[in-house]
Amino acid sequence: MDDMSKLSDAELDALLLAQVKEREQKVAMVIAMAMRPFKNWDEERVGRRIVALVEAGKVESFGDVRKWRFSEIRLLAGK
């Protein structure tokens, strides 16, 4: 798949969540791993989805997740 624009938000969320572990990881690493299959991807959309996952309680964040290299996320215990 070359273009992530064909993905729904739910599909994009699933790709991102598939990379999140129970230990803390840099947001930039999670995004880099999730976006590897795509030649073209929308950084702003991916950033919004990370924020949405935090706000929905799907992941726990450490730092400002809008600053990918300086923040971390992890799965909530039991998720």
pTM of the model: 0.91
pLDDT at 77: 74
The architecture of the domain spanning 7-75 is Orthogonal Bundle (1.10)
Mean of per-residue pLDDT scores for the chain = 93
pLDDT at 58: 96
Q: How far is CA 74 from CA 1, 39, 59, in A?
A: 26, 26, 6
**From CA 55, how far away is CA 42, in angstroms rounded?**
20
| 79 bridge partner residues | none
